[in-house]
Structure 1
Amino acid sequence: MSTNHPKSTVPPLLGRGPQGVFRRTLPSEQPAGERMVRTLGLTQLTMIGIGAIIGAGIFSLAAAVAKDVAGPAVLISFLVAGAASLCAAFAYAEFAGLVPKAGSSYTYCAAVLGEIVGWIIGWDLLLEYTAIVAVVAIGMSGYMGFLLENVGIHLPTWALGAPGTGDGHKIDLLASLICLGVAWLLTRGTRTSARVETVLTFVKIAIVLVVIVVGFTKVDSGNLTPFAPFGLDGAFTGAATVFFAVFGYDALSTAAEESVEARNKLPKAMMLSLAISMGLYVLVCIVLTGVQHYSELNPNSGISSAFASVGLNGLANVIAVGAVIGIVTVTFSFMMGASRLWYALSRDGLMPAWFGAIHPKRKVPHRATWVIGGVAAVLAGLLPINAVADLTNIGVLLAFVVVCAAVLVLRYTKPHLKRGFRCPGMPFVPVLGMVFSVWLMSFLHWETWVRMGGWLVAGLLIYALYGYRRTRSVMPGDSVDLDALDAMADSDRPEPDQVPPR
């Protein structure tokens, strides 16, 4: 045995030294030919955020929760989920103003709380983002089926849904095809796909506004009573279910390495997207449960079916088109987030580099995108929507707890660091974010906890057998000095040969 390194100088496994699992890590700048390009401005970032937030939650899940769990108090469900999400959004915005790097909460937690914490959160969110893509694709297929039936096209019974969702159902074919189609769009390049996302999000917002304006003329106050037929417990359980519909800014933060002036623009885009989306959610919930009694809502095509029930069949079809467009944008945002997260994990050595390879021409992680699209297609085709929705929520809520804790630690240990945004109300807001998240997690079914536990155990095995050694060859050395974050101040500028977004 070598005597060059006395036993007393070797850091313990649980320390922050070179071999410690809690060493703090920061990604180094990639060579020009191996990194993504910065092309996204504030408008595009905000549209990606809104695109991620407004989708299945407003067009499908709201009706399902109102019918089975909350009644008209689904409005409270969204307000509670939004309040919890806002606390975490402040924490995310502060980190986005500190670390303009891909990876979102994985990168943030690895830099502040240590490599093993970052890996657990990254592995957790890799599943959650992929599952969210499947959830929203399932939601979209219901509206696509509504449209196809109205024009006389009837899919075979085996293609109408996942096993167990109806007699003869074998696969949700439309949902699977949606996942693969969005994967194809994302591999076309960031600038091209972001332009499509921006246009579709504007169309979606316009249709939601039509729903609100016309819907209020058809609201029957009698449909809003009883307001909470399942009690407040039902409304709070609904909040835990719809939570995934109000945290799109998390996926937005994974695009940090494709954002121009990310330190300044990412926090603004997060706040704008959440504020706009929550306002629309509240109004649509009132319209949905006011136009049709909660007990008669269709969980697959809620808003369209509600408007059809009051004789507005033409508008119902328009809404179905808007739902399809809206859910495409959500699928786009979260699949983009999942592929960028995978890129970050591969870049740092925690997963094989093959998955994080950047396309030489389009400058996107094309392999990760296709793998995620394929896995999401399988989940969307074979699993019912509620099971997948709960699985996504527990993972994101766990990430929120850790991110809020990390921003709290960093604010008091490194208060001098340059921040593009500062979380207000310290320390109460991040603490409230943690309390809200843990509270909402308590409403999830025990089966969801078991599934999450199994996934995390698998992640720890991968880390022990592969990631631990590999990441030390990619990023060798001791814990980084967090003062190095200030050196990233100018790293979010566009390349000299890039055309800045207007």
Structure 2
Amino acid sequence: MNLLSKMFRKETLDNYIDQDSNLKRSLGAFDLVAMGVGTVIGAGIFILPGTVASTTAGPGIMFSFLVATLICSLSAMCYAEFSSSLPVAGSAYSYGNVVFGEIIGWVLGWALVLEYTLSVAAVAAGWSAYFQTFLSGFGIHVPKAISGFYDPSKGTYVNVFAILIVILIAFILTTGTKSSTKLNNIIVAVKVLIIILFLVVGAFFIKPTNWNPLLPFGVKGVFHGASLVFFAYLGFDCVSSAASEVKNPKKNMPIGILGTLMICTVLYILVSLVLTGMVNYKDLNVADPVSFALQLVHQNAVAGIIAVGALAGMFTMMLTMIYGGSRLLYSMGRDGLLPKGLHKVNNKSVPSRSVFIVTVVIAFMSGFLSLDKLASLVNIGTLIAFIVISLGIIPLRKRQDIPNAGFQVPLYPFLPILSAILSVAIATQLPEDTFLIAGIWFVIGLVIYFSYGIKHSLLNKN
């Protein structure tokens, strides 16, 4: 078999299902929705509506979220069909292996490694900052040396709380999928209740005059705002990484993915509506617009509760993304593209070695590195997956060996193609240097694939 044939050899669904049988199917539709909401609704819901409204869209920010949802829902439907047809671990990585071939699967997996590790590391650093502010409210001040990433010129050497929260989440995940899911469900419920609290309290202080003008930046501002808030939804794709641990995946996976999108859209739009009604959009370009709005109307106690909501939001996001990242490494180990030890599970049916590797990498990054300039790489990694998965619906439908009695994208093939086109359009909004850094990342990935992966691939040994 020549090199090209090896690179594009496709995996079979039956083989994946057989290899994933060591994972326990314990998750239902509610667990998946909670997992998705926990990922998508992070601290950003208390920040993004205000800052984008102030600088880009005005009160029309609610329409920006609606446009972003329409774009994102197309990708979500494609993920829903894939997860219904291929109920296996690994999300886009495994889907790419089955419909396009191993090299495409590897590139998608490598893109998602970028998404999971960078996003969690960045959020862990943010969680640490929020937590230190929370402690200072009780008169507890953290020594500067252990309060931030390595920067001797500013007197900081390690971000201890960022490392500790990542380790705590990893420990929770190793106790078993069902137990960690129960904890996630509880925290997500608390987070949603805190958001509802803001909506109820804030509704009493709405001044309709603050919504006038509704579109101060015009229709162009609405669409520009949509390109910015689109990234608030990134992360719902990690729900599909749980497919091999879901009961009745043909039914529950589409509910989990599409249900996540619907609930998050309603919450984002309502928060935008109330926030811009409470305060003139021009005054919302602050680091904590929701807390700012509440303090402005003398609701300081509720503002303090919002800070707890932000901590909860970041916690559930990290929990789900570390879960997704560990299942991705598990899948790569399953296929031999990374060391096979990553495929082993503990007595709780959890791939503990994969969890350990993900934890070490993220803990190091969040504890010692400044990630501000690398944040946009999270977006490009996800968008690449969106584009390929959208186009992948076309060859998936042609596979006679993969029958799908579950969800299917309507208006085939128009909507999958439109989804890919819109994802490309969103990608063009990213900074130019993002593509250069991403290019370096993918070169590194290809070096690993051709020096190790293709030689140890189980698919190419059959």
TM-score relative to the length of structure 2: 0.90
Residue 437 (str. 1) matches residue 423 (str. 2): yes
Query: Residue 241 of structure 1 contacts residue 393 of structure 1 at CA under 8 Å; is this kept in 2?
Result: no
Q: Structure 1 counterpart of 2:269, which letter?
A: V
Q: Structure 2 counterpart of 1:363, which letter?
A: S
Residue 243 (str. 1) matches residue 230 (str. 2): yes
**Equivalent of 1:410, from 389, 396, 403?**
396
Supply the distance in 2 between the matched residues of 1:225 and 1:444 (Cα, whole angstroms).
31
User: How far is 1:367 from its partner?
Assistant: 1.9
- SS of 1:97's equivalent? helix
**Equivalent of 1:252, from 233, 239, 264?**
239
User: How far is 1:207 from its partner?
Assistant: 1.2
- SS of 2:87's equivalent? coil
The answer for the alignment partner of 2:353 in structure 1 is: 367
Superposed, 1:470-489 pairs within 5 Å as 470-471=456-457, 473=458, 476-477=461-462
The answer for the alignment partner of 2:171 in structure 1 is: 184
User: How far is 1:169 from its partner?
Assistant: 5.5
Superposed, 1:311-460 pairs within 5 Å as 311-359=298-346, 361-382=347-368, 386-412=372-398, 414=400, 417-460=403-446
Query: Residue 9 of structure 2 contacts residue 459 of structure 2 at CA under 8 Å; is this kept in 1?
Result: no
Supply the distance in 1 between the matched residues of 2:50 and 2:437 (Cα, whole angstroms).
26
Supply the distance in 2 between the matched residues of 1:230 and 1:172 (Cα, whole angstroms).
40
**Equivalent of 1:75, from 59, 62, 66?**
62
Is the alpha carbon distance of 1:58 and 1:220 closer, same or farther for their aligned partners in structure 2, counting shifts above 3 Å? same
Q: Structure 2 counterpart of 1:198, which letter?
A: N
Query: Residue 52 of structure 1 contacts residue 249 of structure 1 at CA under 8 Å; is this kept in 2?
Result: yes
Is the alpha carbon distance of 1:173 and 1:62 closer, same or farther for their aligned partners in structure 2, counting shifts above 3 Å? farther
User: How far is 1:222 from its partner?
Assistant: 4.9
The answer for the alignment partner of 1:56 in structure 2 is: 43
Is the alpha carbon distance of 1:72 and 1:371 closer, same or farther for their aligned partners in structure 2, counting shifts above 3 Å? farther
The answer for the alignment partner of 2:451 in structure 1 is: 465
Supply the distance in 1 between the matched residues of 2:445 and 2:154 (Cα, whole angstroms).
36
Query: Residue 138 of structure 1 contacts residue 172 of structure 1 at CA under 8 Å; is this kept in 2?
Result: yes
Superposed, 1:144-155 pairs within 5 Å as 144-155=131-142
Query: Residue 11 of structure 2 contacts residue 459 of structure 2 at CA under 8 Å; is this kept in 1?
Result: no
User: How far is 1:175 from its partner?
Assistant: 3.2
User: How far is 1:290 from its partner?
Assistant: 3.3
Residue 106 (str. 1) matches residue 93 (str. 2): yes
Is the alpha carbon distance of 1:461 and 1:236 closer, same or farther for their aligned partners in structure 2, counting shifts above 3 Å? farther
User: How far is 1:408 from its partner?
Assistant: 2.0
Residue 141 (str. 1) matches residue 128 (str. 2): yes
- SS of 1:444's equivalent? coil
Query: Residue 57 of structure 2 contacts residue 216 of structure 2 at CA under 8 Å; is this kept in 1?
Result: yes
User: How far is 1:298 from its partner?
Assistant: 6.8
Q: Structure 1: which 5+ residue stretches go unaligned?
A: 1-10, 478-502
Supply the distance in 2 between the matched residues of 1:232 and 1:382 (Cα, whole angstroms).
42
Query: Residue 211 of structure 2 contacts residue 277 of structure 2 at CA under 8 Å; is this kept in 1?
Result: yes
Residue 208 (str. 1) matches residue 195 (str. 2): yes
The answer for the alignment partner of 1:13 in structure 2 is: 3
Residue 263 (str. 1) matches residue 250 (str. 2): yes
Supply the distance in 1 between the matched residues of 2:291 and 2:281 (Cα, whole angstroms).
14
CA deviations 1:376-419 (Å, max 9, x no partner) are 23333455565343111111011000000001222245498223
Q: Structure 2 counterpart of 1:153, which letter?
A: I
Is the alpha carbon distance of 1:219 and 1:475 closer, same or farther for their aligned partners in structure 2, counting shifts above 3 Å? farther
- SS of 1:337's equivalent? helix
Supply the distance in 2 between the matched residues of 1:181 and 1:99 (Cα, whole angstroms).
32
User: How far is 1:221 from its partner?
Assistant: 4.2
Residue 122 (str. 1) matches residue 109 (str. 2): yes
User: How far is 1:352 from its partner?
Assistant: 0.8
- SS of 1:14's equivalent? helix
Query: Residue 60 of structure 1 contacts residue 139 of structure 1 at CA under 8 Å; is this kept in 2?
Result: no
Query: Residue 335 of structure 1 contacts residue 369 of structure 1 at CA under 8 Å; is this kept in 2?
Result: yes
Q: Structure 1 counterpart of 2:378, which letter?
A: T
Pick which of 193-202 and 174-183 moved more. 174-183
Query: Residue 75 of structure 2 contacts residue 386 of structure 2 at CA under 8 Å; is this kept in 1?
Result: yes
Supply the distance in 2 between the matched residues of 1:395 and 1:440 (Cα, whole angstroms).
13
Q: Structure 1 counterpart of 2:293, which letter?
A: A
Q: Structure 1 counterpart of 2:271, which letter?
A: V
Is the alpha carbon distance of 1:442 and 1:146 closer, same or farther for their aligned partners in structure 2, counting shifts above 3 Å? same
Pick which of 131-140 and 177-186 moved more. 131-140
- SS of 2:336's equivalent? coil
- Aligned residue pair count: 460
Q: Structure 1 counterpart of 2:3, which letter?
A: L
Supply the distance in 1 between the matched residues of 2:279 and 2:366 (Cα, whole angstroms).
28
RMSD of aligned alpha carbons:
2.8
CA deviations 1:32-68 (Å, max 9, x no partner) are 9982111111111221111111113313444454455
User: How far is 1:150 from its partner?
Assistant: 2.6
Supply the distance in 1 between the matched residues of 2:214 and 2:156 (Cα, whole angstroms).
35
Supply the distance in 2 between the matched residues of 1:335 and 1:58 (Cα, whole angstroms).
21
Supply the distance in 1 between the matched residues of 2:399 and 2:17 (Cα, whole angstroms).
28
Is the alpha carbon distance of 1:408 and 1:30 closer, same or farther for their aligned partners in structure 2, counting shifts above 3 Å? closer
Is the alpha carbon distance of 1:33 and 1:124 closer, same or farther for their aligned partners in structure 2, counting shifts above 3 Å? closer
Is the alpha carbon distance of 1:378 and 1:231 closer, same or farther for their aligned partners in structure 2, counting shifts above 3 Å? farther
The answer for the alignment partner of 1:492 in structure 2 is: none
User: How far is 1:92 from its partner?
Assistant: 0.6
Is the alpha carbon distance of 1:299 and 1:137 closer, same or farther for their aligned partners in structure 2, counting shifts above 3 Å? farther
- SS of 1:126's equivalent? helix
Supply the distance in 2 between the matched residues of 1:304 and 1:87 (Cα, whole angstroms).
33
Is the alpha carbon distance of 1:33 and 1:283 closer, same or farther for their aligned partners in structure 2, counting shifts above 3 Å? closer
Is the alpha carbon distance of 1:307 and 1:174 closer, same or farther for their aligned partners in structure 2, counting shifts above 3 Å? farther
Supply the distance in 1 between the matched residues of 2:163 and 2:282 (Cα, whole angstroms).
29
User: How far is 1:117 from its partner?
Assistant: 0.4
Supply the distance in 1 between the matched residues of 2:67 and 2:338 (Cα, whole angstroms).
36
Pick which of 117-126 and 362-371 moved more. 362-371
Supply the distance in 2 between the matched residues of 1:135 and 1:196 (Cα, whole angstroms).
22
CA deviations 1:410-466 (Å, max 9, x no partner) are 224549822311111212211121111111100101121112111110110011001
Query: Residue 128 of structure 1 contacts residue 395 of structure 1 at CA under 8 Å; is this kept in 2?
Result: yes
TM-score relative to the length of structure 1: 0.83
Q: Structure 1 counterpart of 2:330, which letter?
A: Y
Pick which of 287-296 and 433-442 moved more. 287-296
